[in-house]
Amino acid sequence: MELGPPGGSGPAEPGPRLRGLRGADAAASASSLSRFGAEAGCRAPAVAAVLPAGGSGERMGVPTPKQFCPILERPLISYTLQALERVSWIKDIIVAVTRENMETMKGIIQRYQHKRISLVEAGVTRHRSIFNGLKALAEDQPNCRLSKPEVVIIHDAVRPFVEEDVLLKVVTAAQEHGASGAIRPLVSTVISPSADSCLDHSLERARYRASEMPQAFLFDVIYDAYQQCSDYDLEFGTECLHLALKYSHIKAKLVEGSPDLWKVTYKRDLYAAESIIKERISQKVCVVMDTKEDEEHVGHCLEEMLKTELNHVKVTSGQDLQQIILEQCYNFVCVNVMTSDFEETQRLLNMLEESNLSILYPVVVISVHFLDYESVPLGQKMEKVMQIREFAKEAKKRNILLSGLLIYFPQVENNRGLEEQKLRESLRQGTTIISALIKERNSGLIGQLLVA
Amino acid sequence: MELGPPGGSGPAEPGPRLRGLRGADAAASASSLSRFGAEAGCRAPAVAAVLPAGGSGERMGVPTPKQFCPILERPLISYTLQALERVSWIKDIIVAVTRENMETMKGIIQRYQHKRISLVEAGVTRHRSIFNGLKALAEDQPNCRLSKPEVVIIHDAVRPFVEEDVLLKVVTAAQEHGASGAIRPLVSTVISPSADSCLDHSLERARYRASEMPQAFLFDVIYDAYQQCSDYDLEFGTECLHLALKYSHIKAKLVEGSPDLWKVTYKRDLYAAESIIKERISQKVCVVMDTKEDEEHVGHCLEEMLKTELNHVKVTSGQDLQQIILEQCYNFVCVNVMTSDFEETQRLLNMLEESNLSILYPVVVISVHFLDYESVPLGQKMEKVMQIREFAKEAKKRNILLSGLLIYFPQVENNRGLEEQKLRESLRQGTTIISALIKERNSGLIGQLLVA
């Protein structure tokens, strides 16, 4: 379970262990190490990561430092930690935070069950924070609590979408070259202004790159560089690759990164990150039914319709719920054909509560009921189904967003064709509503009974 | 009405004239020109803008060129045109599009009622497209249809949030210096790779800037430069400031731009743009009531609650609806205290339809009703209010997103205090729902009757 899906199309897998998964964990860890060997052509080194997170986020224009800004109610830095800790061959993750934010950070680690994290105090600049992180790993320091790694990754707290793939590339390159960093093409032309704010010259865009994160270094290379570098470097410098070049004479190997590596800098980046996360956790929908017998019933029609209409979404039927929860599906459509009770929905909510699935992401559950105006008066049915508000309030406490959906099941006397057509209309409408609820994941709409 | 709000906190104002606004238009136009004079210390020049929009958007990873990607169902380029055309002193806007997209572009101009736009055919590169745009303004061209401006703005179709402020700055600077462009600080360090993809050197971040758009030029300066420049420049160059320097020997004046000037490049930028637009059009909510007499009633309580809970949102009461629509409020809460009919909501929908308000942005209308279990049975009330689905379907055709909200109005015998408390709970819940509907603006949830 610790290996990320290739290509970054799926969500980063969570830090907290899903219950009953110790065995799978160990297996994934082994396969990840062998993958290291195969791609690198060399033995797997001991790797740690240092994450400077002492920034104040002034560019964001919000009072909260950007690494602590919430995305789906969880701080940004928790997503970055999750992305690093799912990589089993990173043994230690050192986070540098300011003294004021130390308790906040401890709270985040506890709440989201992050593992292998050590905290150090941030310095007043980025370089000083990184240096403090490196000291915690250096054996020559008196209060060193961790063992010195061969390779150290340096990453930003505000780049939550880093994939194992690029981490592996920079670590492998650092092993070989001493230093390595991810780069991206420049989006804008870079120009040099003269003293009077006029254009002095512009750089040929194709000849330059943007230096991004992660970077990786042989520990001794970067630690030596930091020990030698000047106060001016520590105060005004920003680029670790530059320090490795200047003080350790190591020319870093540059590795092409994906666009996902971008740094959350402005408020619009927070918006983008939220949309990306929402999109990633909306790729799978599980349909659970309260009967397995009748293959013809409306529940199956709804499932088929979901498959057709949400064609980018993987719709699975909830035959083996335990397994689907383990595979981190964050969206459930619970179809109640047989009764207007909540037995099946309740059973699903209990299973979700027993797993740790909703610790990291809000889980959407939609309890679907069918309405036949003929057999039960609308009012009576509605009052019964309205109980959903109470269930939803309880579920919200566990980060589960429960809504109800009532699908109109038409009965047209002596006209089977018309009946069929009207049913399809209702189901299509239901699919639109399900899609909207999953896509938006807005807790303001929980406990509502929507009508298709 | 053509002047944008200062600081970019409000939405760009629409191109289509709101009916009955000719007078206000003329006044705004005059004030805009006098503002030009005051800031520039010189006479207002004749200004045109050229917008290269021939790109294929390959970096986006989607088949639609990014300038045509929809945001709230409207193509990105339409937002950029809107931002330019609200600036009354820009006389002509030349858009360069590929032959394949010519009809699409004409459709966009017609549908969103864009004004002062001329289309030219794009070249195979950005520079060639700009050159084609300039030719359409140059009097020495045989098929020139427009008059030559003194200053020409060059902007990107994929930078929709450009403010009048920065346009004014670059035009003024171009008048004085011959050329001018907006710049931003670099977000990443820029490095130069060696031939074997290792770090050669890194640039000192503080000494460089990112060159953004808009840029402005004395027309003759940039037109001469394009006429002289080599095929190599036209094929591989990207920077107009560089051409002005190289061929017309003009050192462009650089102007600090706001973060809003960023270029929509990746899919995440589309997400960010959508969130920014949604946020901008959610800043004002108008509360309309079906009675003006009783100052004590629940409608007023709801309005007060909205003011308290949505503290970043301007909540106005709909005393003068015509004026509020003219001021471009895109969110309406229609409170029906006296009846469970839709008279008031219908009246509002009619007014919205008569105005052109929803041409550019989807307008949210929430029809609020109060539910007293004691006096009317739930079922009966519900069936009546369910008519909202039919109204919503009709409204959707005019880009109006109509939902219903039923607020539980409790009656507790002999306990006024408890009654009051329960009412406040319902109203708070209603406020949360209203906020979610306005924020998400999801057309999948129209016609629903939500319950608070």
Write the CA distances from A115 to A14, A57, A76, A92, A145, integer angstroms. Answer: 11, 25, 16, 9, 16
The residue type of A8 is: G
Nearest to B435 among A190, A436, A444 (CB): A444
Residue A277 tokens read as: 């996360």
> Which residue in the set A193, A242, A377 is minimally distant from B379, CB to CB?
A377
Nearest CA in chain B to A190: B210
> How far is it, in rounded angstroms, from Cα B381 to Cα B383?
6
Q: What span, in angstroms and rounded, lies between the C-alpha atoms of B161 and B9? A: 10
CB contact under 8 A, A202 and B210: no
Please name every residue paired with B317 in a beta bridge, in sequence order, or none if there are none.
B287
Which of B189, B201, B260, B276 to probe by mutation at the A interface, max A CB count within 10 Å? B189
Beta strands in B72-141 (DSSP E): 74-75, 90-97, 117-121
Cis check for the bond before B214: say yes or no (omega within 30 of 0): yes
Q: Does B212 touch chain A (CB under 8 A)?
A: yes
- Crossing angle, helix B102-111 and helix B76-85, to 10 degrees? 60
CB A333 within 8 A of CB A368: yes
- CA-based nearest distance B202→chain A, Å: 7
Q: Among A202, A239, A444, whose Cβ lies nearest the Cβ of B432?
A: A444
Scanning A264-415, the segments in alpha helix (DSSP H) are 267-280, 298-309, 321-326, 343-354, 378-385, 388-396
CB atoms within 10 A of CB A29: 15
| Pick among B198, B240, B312, B451 to test the A interface (most A CBs inside 10 A) | B198
Mutate to test the interface with A, among B208, B268, B277 (most CBs of A within 10 A): B268
Nearest to B211 among A59, A184, A189 (CB): A189
CA dihedral of B173, B177, B182, B183, whole degrees rounded to 10: -130
Residue with tokens 């310095």: A123
Closest to B180 in 3D by CA, of B15, B296, B45: B45
Strand partners, A49: A93, A153
| Domains recognised in chain B with CATH numbers | 6-188+200-276 (3.90.550.10), 281-451 (3.40.50.720)
Whether the CB-CB separation of A367 and A400 falls below 8 Å is answered with no
- Cβ(A402)–Cβ(A365) below 8 Å: yes
**Which residues of chain A are within 8 Å of residue B251 when distances are taken between CB atoms?**
194, 198-200
> What are the φ/ψ torsions at residue A17 (nearest 5 degrees)?
-70, 130
Only one residue has tokens 């320097």, namely B245
Residues of B in contact with A209 (CB under 8 A): 190-193
Instruction: Tell me if chain B has a CB within 8 Å of the CB of A262.
Output: yes
And the tokens for B354? 């008569």
Amino acid at B153: I
Q: Give the pLDDT band (50/70/90) at residue B416.
A: confident
Contacts B436 to A, Cβ<8 Å: 442, 444-445
Long-range contacts of A29-36, Cβ-Cβ distance < 8 Å, separation of 24 or more: A29/A2, A29/A88, A29/A89, A31/A3, A32/A2, A32/A3, A32/A87, A32/A88, A32/A89, A32/A164, A33/A88, A33/A89, A35/A168, A36/A89, A36/A168, A36/A172
Place of tokens 């037995």: A343
Q: Are B284 and B329 in contact (CB under 8 A)?
A: yes
Please name the residue that has the structure tokens 């102007």. Answer: B255
For the beta carbon of residue B259, count every other beta carbon within 10 angstroms: 19
Q: Look up residue B174 and give its DSSP letter.
A: H
Residue B447: pLDDT over 50: yes
Q: Give strand pairing partners of B363.
A: B400
Work out the number of other CB atoms within 10 angstroms of the CB of residue A41: 9
Tell me which residues of chain A, numbers 391 to 450, contact chain B at a CB-CB cutoff of 8 Å. 432-433, 435-436, 439-440, 442, 444-445, 448-450
Q: Which residues of B touch A255 (CB under 8 A)?
A: 197
Nearest CA in chain A to B205: A238
Take residue A38 and report the two structure tokens written for it. 């195969």
CB contact at 8 A, A129 and A49: no
Q: What residue type is A320 in one-letter code?
A: D
Contact A241 B202 (CB under 8 A): yes
Highest mean pLDDT among A313-317, B269-273, B302-306: B269-273
> CB of B225 within 8 Å of any CB in chain A?
no
A211 touches chain B (CB under 8 A): yes
- Compare all CA atoms of chain A with the CA of B276 and give the residue at the minimum distance: A268
- Asked if A436 and B442 come within 8 Å (Cβ–Cβ), the reply is yes
- Contact yes or no for A239 and B191 at CB 8 A: yes
State the pLDDT at residue B262: 94
Summarised one tens digit per residue, pLDDT across range B51-102 is 999 987 665 566 789 999 999 999 999 999 999 999 999 999 999 999 999 9
DSSP at A89: T
Q: Are A444 and B433 in contact (CB < 8 Å)?
A: yes
Which of A73, A50, A75, A80 has the alpha carbon at shortest distance from A65?
A75
Q: Between B109 and A341, name the one with better pLDDT.
A: B109
Positive or negative, the CA dihedral B65, B70, B74, B80 is negative
The Cα–Cα gap between B153 and B167 comes to: 8
Which among B188, B241, B276 has the least Cβ separation from residue A211? B188
Q: For position B377, what pLDDT does the model report?
A: 65
Beta bridge partners of A210: A184, B190
Which residues, at least 6 apart from B204, have a Cβ–Cβ distance to it below 8 Å? none
What is the per-residue pLDDT for B25?
A: 42
Put simply, whether B311 touches A (Cβ < 8 Å) is no
Strand residue runs (E) in B339-382: 363-371
Q: Check whether the bond before A160 is cis (ω within 30° of 0).
A: no
Is the Cβ pair A442, B451 closer than 8 Å? no
CA pair distance B307, B317, nearest whole angstrom: 11
Chain A residue whose CA is closest to B428 = A444
Alpha helix (H) ranges present in A116-196?
A: 126-135, 164-177
B132-185 residue pLDDT tens: 999 999 977 776 678 999 999 999 999 999 999 999 999 999 999 999 999 999
Burial (0-12, 13-18, 19+ Cβ within 10 Å), A347: middle
What is the percent of chain B with per-residue pLDDT over 90, rounded to a whole number? Answer: 64
The chain A residue lying nearest B201, using CA atoms, is A242
B219-228 vs B126-135: helix crossing angle, rounded to 10: 120
Q: Collect all residues with Cβ–Cβ distance below 8 Å to A426 and sequence separation of at least 6.
A: A407, A408, A409, A410, A452
Task: Please give the Cα distance from A305 to A287 (Å, whole number).
Answer: 12
At residue B408, the pLDDT reads 80
Find the largest Cα–Cα distance for chain B: 89
Say whether residue B22 is in contact with chain A using an 8 A CB cutoff: no
- Name the closest residue on chain A to residue B238, using Cα atoms: A189
- The span from the CA of A131 to the CA of A138, in Å, is 10
**Distance between terminal CA atoms of chain B?**
38
Comparing A96-100, B41-45, B311-315, the range with the smallest average pLDDT is B41-45
Q: From the candidates A199, A242, A396, which should be mutated to test the interface with B, based on the most B CB atoms within 10 A?
A: A199
- Residue B17 confidence (pLDDT): 47
Quote ipTM for the complex: 0.89
A vs B: CB pairs below 8 A: 208
Mark the ranges of chain A whose per-residue pLDDT is less than 50: 1-10, 14-15, 17, 19-31, 33, 40
- Show Cβ contacts of residue B279 under 8 Å, excluding neighbours closer than 6 positions: none
Strand partners, B71: B74
Residue type for position A267: K
Cβ atoms of residues A45 and A204 within 8 Å: no
Q: How far is CA B71 from CA A286, A321, B155, B274, in A?
A: 29, 36, 20, 6
Token pair, residue A103, equals 């308790």
B432 CA: distance to closest CA in chain A (Å): 6
Residues 6+ apart with CB under 8 A from A42: A172, A175, A176
The pairing of beta strand B199-202 with beta strand B189-193: antiparallel
Judge contact between A356 and A276, C-beta under 8 A. Answer: no
* pLDDT tens digits, B384-400: 667 898 899 999 999 99
With CB atoms and an 8 Å threshold, state whether B192 touches A207: yes
